[in-house]
């Protein structure tokens, strides 16, 4: 127990992880959403040795430079676009994320979203709840069959590969674009075709699923112009980061039939959703939940907490697997 070490967990997470850190250190748990506001981080973070933060907390250069005591930032997420990693490095602050433990949950969640759009599940369920089910209908709620269709994956990392594996089990063909080509074994296993530009991938795919990180290069990758490369019958799935898609352009494309459907788990300005999207039946909207299983959220929390414990107990950085 080292009560001189102060840890901020920016909002309540799974109890076992909060207890693990509280048993060792002086832990403060923030109120949900409070540290989504930069000012609050600027005011409070200088008092802490470590922070276990959420993907919604903006740990930008100003915040990091102000946090003079901080030794480690452990993000309770695999994506870390909320953290200015370069400034952290310059300041000698380590940064950790939560890779691997959420791959299956996120790939499952993405595939559930994909099926929900392709088979119009929420739309059909809403109709039933409105009392409109009048028996089996030979022409009702016809959707897209997956067998034989091409899934275009943008970002063939762990999660993209996991989604591709699931798609293969449904008889889909896999095409992908990535900064670097996947290894030969992965391409062979998935019979995956590498496509060297995003527009070309959009032109040949029946479903595009986004799994790339949010960077300056991928911000608004799926803008109005890019969406016109997709087939009119195609579906766009985004379970990566909201700003990879220009949400206003997507809403317009869904309304005008440039593409047939979309499934979103993430949004440009979370928790806001573009006001045109909820009214569209050809769009399935989830509240950023693709990794939300009991097992995964617990494993994510432990991975983040263990990085904090490792750093504060003086373990060699090389022995902490999830440091960036
Ligand atoms: C992540 O970890 O980056 C996800 O978006 C959270 O599930």
Q: How far apart are CA 181 and CA 178, in angstroms?
A: 6
Over residues 107-120, the pLDDT tens digits come to 999 999 999 999 99
Two domains, one topology: 6-99+294-312 and 103-285: yes
Which residues are CB-contacts of 126 (< 8 A; sequence separation ≥ 6)?
none
Q: Single out the catalytic residue among 168, 270, 298, 302.
A: 270
The atom of ligand 1 lying closest to the CA of 76 is 2
Q: Which residue has the tokens 């127990």?
A: 1
> How many degrees, rounded to 5, is the angle at CA 89 between CA 1 and CA 310?
25
Q: Is 203 a catalytic residue?
A: no
CATH superfamily of 103-285: NAD(P)-binding Rossmann-like Domain (3.40.50.720)
pTM here?
Answer: 0.95
Q: Single out the catalytic residue among 241, 247, 268, 297.
A: 241
Report the residue count for the chain: 324
Q: Is 83 in the pocket of ligand 1 (CB under 6 A)?
A: no
Distance from Cα 2 to the centre of ligand 1, integer Å = 30
Q: Is 77 in the pocket of ligand 1 (CB under 6 A)?
A: yes
Pick from 192, 175, 166, 176: which is nearest to 112 by CA?
166
Q: Is 296 in the pocket of ligand 1 (CB under 6 A)?
A: no
Distance from Cα 298 to the centre of ligand 1, integer Å = 13
Q: Is 244 in the pocket of ligand 1 (CB under 6 A)?
A: no
Pick from 163, 161, 153: which is nearest to 110 by CA?
163
Q: Is 291 in the pocket of ligand 1 (CB under 6 A)?
A: yes
Specify the fold of 6-99+294-312: Rossmann fold (3.40.50)
Q: Ligand 1 pocket: which of 101, 106, 238 to mutate (most atoms <8 Å of CB)?
A: 106
Q: Is 102 in the pocket of ligand 1 (CB under 6 A)?
A: yes
Q: How far apart are CA 31 and CA 13, in angstroms?
A: 11
Count other C-beta atoms under 10 Å from residue 193's C-beta.
14
- pLDDT score at 91: 95
The atom of ligand 1 lying closest to the CA of 97 is 2
Q: Is 241 a catalytic residue?
A: yes
259 burial (CB, 10 Å; 0-12 / 13-18 / 19+) is buried
DSSP element (H, E) containing 3: strand 2-9
> Which residue numbers in the chain have pLDDT < 50?
none
- pLDDT score at 118: 98
Q: How far apart are CA 21 and CA 19, in angstroms?
A: 5
The atom of ligand 1 lying closest to the CA of 241 is 5
Phi, psi angle pair for 188, to nearest 5°: -70, -45
Q: Is 82 in the pocket of ligand 1 (CB under 6 A)?
A: no
Over residues 259-311, the pLDDT tens digits come to 999 999 999 999 999 999 999 999 999 999 999 999 999 999 999 999 999 99
Domain boundaries, the chain: 6-99+294-312, 103-285
Q: How far apart are CA 195 and CA 202, in angstroms?
A: 10
Q: Ligand 1 pocket: which of 76, 98, 100, 102 to mutate (most atoms <8 Å of CB)?
A: 102
Distance from Cα 151 to the centre of ligand 1, integer Å = 22
- pLDDT score at 1: 65
């Amino acid at each position: 127990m080292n009560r001189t070490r102060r840890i901020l967990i920016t909002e309540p997470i799974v109890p076992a992880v909060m207890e693990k850190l509280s048993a060792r250190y002086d832990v403060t748990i923030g109120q949900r959403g409070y540290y989504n506001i930069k000012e609050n981080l600027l005011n409070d973070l200088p008092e802490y040795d470590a922070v276990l933060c959420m993907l919604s907390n903006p740990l930008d250069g100003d915040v990091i430079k102000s946090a003079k005591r901080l030794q480690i930032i452990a993000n309770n997420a695999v994506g870390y676009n909320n953290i200015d990693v370069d400034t952290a490095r310059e300041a000698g602050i380590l940064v950790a994320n939560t890779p691997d433990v959420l791959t299956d949950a996120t790939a499952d969640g993405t595939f559930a979203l994909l099926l929900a759009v392709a088979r119009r599940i929420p739309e059909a369920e809403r109709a039933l709840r409105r009392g409109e089910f009048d028996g089996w209908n030979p022409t009702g709620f016809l959707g897209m069959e997956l067998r034989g269709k091409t899934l275009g994956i943008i970002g063939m990392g762990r999660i993209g590969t996991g989604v591709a594996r699931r798609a293969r089990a449904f008889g889909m063909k896999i095409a992908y674009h990535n900064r670097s080509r996947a290894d030969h074994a992965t391409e062979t296993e998935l019979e995956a075709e590498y496509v060297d530009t995003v527009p070309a991938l959009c032109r040949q795919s029946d479903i595009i699923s986004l799994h790339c990180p949010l960077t300056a290069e991928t911000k608004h990758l799926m803008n109005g112009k890019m969406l016109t490369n997709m087939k009119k019958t195609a579906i766009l799935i985004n379970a990566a980061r909201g700003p990879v898609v220009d949400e206003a352009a997507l809403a317009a494309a869904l309304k005008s039939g440039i593409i047939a459907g979309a499934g979103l788990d993430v949004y440009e300005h979370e928790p806001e959703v573009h006001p045109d999207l909820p009214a569209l039946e050809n769009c399935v909207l989830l509240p950023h939940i693709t990794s939300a299983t009991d097992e995964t959220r617990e494993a994510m929390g432990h991975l983040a907490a263990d990085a904090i414990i490792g750093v504060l107990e003086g373990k060699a950085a090389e022995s902490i697997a999830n440091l960036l």
